Structure 1
Amino acid sequence: MHDHPNVRAVQEALDIADALDGSGAPSQARILPDAVHTAAAAAAALGVEVGQIANSLIFNADGEPLLVLTSGAHRVNTAQVAAQLGLDSLDRATPEFVREHTGQAIGGVAPLGHPKPVRTLVDTALAAWDEVWAAAGVPQSVYPTTYAELIRVTGGTPAEVA
């Protein structure tokens, strides 16, 4: 599974981000025995708290993709986020929209490794954890990271999203 094109793209993006920053060894994608399609399943598989899971959720923001990296401990308040961003609408994206803009399928969308940059919000609730886990391109692949690293590698904006 490390050879899957999506996992390779995510790992290459992590390697490049580390080379640019020079802060140490880049995170390494980990392949789990089974797919983890929910934050609860990922937390159980990793032996961590559900709040440490950084869900990568793609929304259709007035026709443009918006990636919200949110703590697995809560749901995105779409009305609140739309108001913060001055959007007319913020809707859950279709699987086709997600794949078009990320190259990845729902359940495995990573914060990076997309064909082109996606506007990103990073849930401030993730700052409570020293380590968080994000998907690495497919539903059975994850990698460890930090809140600060998520902001850095995605160019994301910290936001209250719940």
Structure 2
Amino acid sequence: MTASLPTRSLLVLDSIRAAGIEGEIVVLPDAASTAPLAAAALGVEVGAIANSLVFWSDDEPLLVMTSGAHRVDTAALAERLGRGSIRRASAEQVREATGQAIGGVAPTGHSAPLTTVVDEALAGYPEIWAAGGTPHTVFPMTFDQLVALTGGPVVKVD
């Protein structure tokens, strides 16, 4: 089955396996490029979707892993993190920073390591789902696995 995964998803799979995460990458029949679409395709609450949102802050990319039920309050998050402004990255910046397209950005498997923060609200779900490197791929994990995988601090993002 892994042979049929897109190259970007194989990179994600290698990374999650190296982190000891056993969940399989699931290929969805339709793109699930938003949290509501992913939740509907998987039959889970939208809050259990770990959105991978790339922002630009202090001249570098910042990956925010947030619950699909939240919007990131960029001003409040910048203050909490002691950063200058945080603004949404362009599609080109996302691709350059991650090697992945908007709607399919995984928490790992990027071109280079990214500074990452994890939404504390994701801790409220026994299983969370994240993109697997493309808008058609996702994989399950626990909150603790996400934190360990990304190495990011847990913060309030909304």
Fold similarity call, TM over 0.5: yes
Distance 2:5 2:43 in 1: 25
Deviation string, structure 1 residues 78-114 (Cα, Å, up to 9, x no partner): 0001111222210000011111110000000000001
Shift, 1:154, TM fit: 0.7
What does residue 23 of structure 2 align with? 27
Residues 2 and 8 in structure 1, CA contact (< 8 A), matched pair in contact too:
no
Off by >2 Å, runs of 4+ in structure 1: none
Q: Percent identity?
A: 53
Distance 1:56 1:146 in 2: 15
- TM-score, normalization by structure 1: 0.93
What does residue 22 of structure 1 align with? none
- Equivalent residue in structure 2 for 1:104, among 100, 103, 113: 100
User: Could you say what secondary structure the match of 1:33 adopts?
Assistant: coil
State whether structure 2 residue 66 is matched by structure 1 residue 64: no
How many residues were matched structurally?
A: 156
Residues 108 and 141 in structure 1, CA contact (< 8 A), matched pair in contact too:
yes
Shift, 1:3, TM fit: 3.0
State whether structure 2 residue 130 is matched by structure 1 residue 134: yes
Unaligned runs of 5+ in 2: none
Superposition CA RMSD, Å: 1.1
1:35 maps to amino acid:
A
Unaligned runs of 5+ in 1: 19-24
- Equivalent residue in structure 1 for 2:18, among 11, 16, 19: 16
